Amino acid sequence: MIKELEKLQNENNYRSLKSLDYEGNFIIYKGKKLLNLCSNDYLSLNINQELKHKFLKNIKDKDFYFSSASSRSLSGGFSIFEELESLLENFFKGKNALLFNSGFSLNYSCIQALATLKNTLFLADKFIHASMIDGLKGANFFRFRHNDMQNLSLLLEKHHKNYERIIILSEALFSMDGDFAHIKQLVEFKKTYKNILLYIDEAHSVGCFDESGLGIVKSLGLEKDIDFLVLTFGKALASYGACMLCSRKAKDFFINKARALIYSTALAPINVAFTKFIFERLKTFDKERKALKNISSFFKNLLKDYNIMGDAYIVSLLIGSNEKASFLANKLLENGFFAPAIKEPTVPKNTARIRFSLNANLKKDELLPLKELL
């Protein structure tokens, strides 16, 4: 264990936890006030104290539980779970909704369950999240180059005859490079190859796209073509938990096979009630979505002369080595910005970066001084 930790330290890749306090968009760390540029609170709902007070004022007694005290398949099935699932099923007509404790446990255990189906191959984008990669352990899978539809097409052509089903795994808005998946093209593949199923994770896009706020797939009107659509609640929705949207049969399959659902205490009812409260208001956060779009354009323009990536509000400044990325992150910290370096294995080796994730409440003049520091 000690050797492992020493190795990480020598590689400038040692993680430690920080104790932080919050004041709106600022983090208080060791007495220093730092602009938070690494939260996934894209719509700034998590720092909207008024919104949370409103929720707490109206919480019903039947949902006022900080624990479900059991797995949902035993006595943890509080009625609020089905209420939220019904709401989501109403938003995504034709889909069945199933709540999970987190995006990680959803991806990990649903993919693990799907991998038990005979004659199944997964084709996974090279940059999918760790939770999906972990679910693939022991599965038949190949990775395709990130967002490279030609590479995926070659793999489909080569393998489609040998498997009963091929499940393509992608994110809608990628968490680290901040770019969009080619969802329309993925759906097109389903017309050519009849045994394809699409699994799309909207962790970083739900809340922020479409006038309903329900995500990129919804904005494209393609929800019926996505067989497994994943929403997570811990980012733009300022809550916790996740939801799988799929067919009735698939929902029953996961209820019986997804180990993280079966063998874990279900979400706290109060938390599910808060997620429902947010979803009920999601389409009213248009001002926040517009502000997020505007500040993202401003920021990308500000950094246009640097090596940046990102199609929306996740903007990554590519550095390369762990050492240089850590150096820059420290410099930012000393100058009032909280934007830690992201290193392998979260991103590929030698692509260490500063990943800026923006939010609706950021002000242009707060971001301006950053340019001089890079």
Residues lying near ligand PLP in the complex (CB under 6 A) are found at 102-104, 107, 129, 131, 171, 175, 201, 203-204, 232, 234, 242
| Structure token digits, residue 268 | 């706290």
| Residue whose CB is less far from ligand PLP, 102 or 359 | 102
Distance CA 27, CA 14 (A): 22
| Residue whose CB is less far from ligand PLP, 131 or 316 | 131
| Helix count and strand count (H, E) for the chain | 14, 15
Contact 217, 223 (CB under 8 A): yes
| Residue whose CB is less far from ligand PLP, 1 or 17 | 17
- Minimum Å gap between C-beta 275 and ligand PLP is 11
| Residue whose CB is less far from ligand PLP, 92 or 199 | 199
Whose tokens are 């399959």? That residue is: 253
Give the residue among 229, 222, 272 at the shortest CA–CA distance from 251: 229
Contact 202, 234 (CB under 8 A): no
Which residue minimizes CB distance to ligand PLP? Answer: 103
| Residue whose CB is less far from ligand PLP, 128 or 152 | 128
- Minimum Å gap between C-beta 129 and ligand PLP is 4
Distance CA 187, CA 192 (A): 10
- Minimum Å gap between C-beta 241 and ligand PLP is 7
- Minimum Å gap between C-beta 102 and ligand PLP is 3
Give the residue among 276, 209, 364 at the shortest CA–CA distance from 60: 276
- Minimum Å gap between C-beta 305 and ligand PLP is 28
| Residue whose CB is less far from ligand PLP, 120 or 175 | 175
Residue 124 pairs in a beta bridge with: 143, 169
DSSP character string of 133-188: HHHTTTS-EEEE-TT-HHHHHHHHHHHGGG-SEEEEEEESB-TTT-PBP-HHHHHH
DSSP character string of 192-248: H-TTEEEEEE-TTTTTTSSTTS--HHHHHT-GGG-SEEEEESSSTTSS--EEEEE-H
- Minimum Å gap between C-beta 104 and ligand PLP is 4
| Residue whose CB is less far from ligand PLP, 80 or 203 | 203
- Minimum Å gap between C-beta 220 and ligand PLP is 18
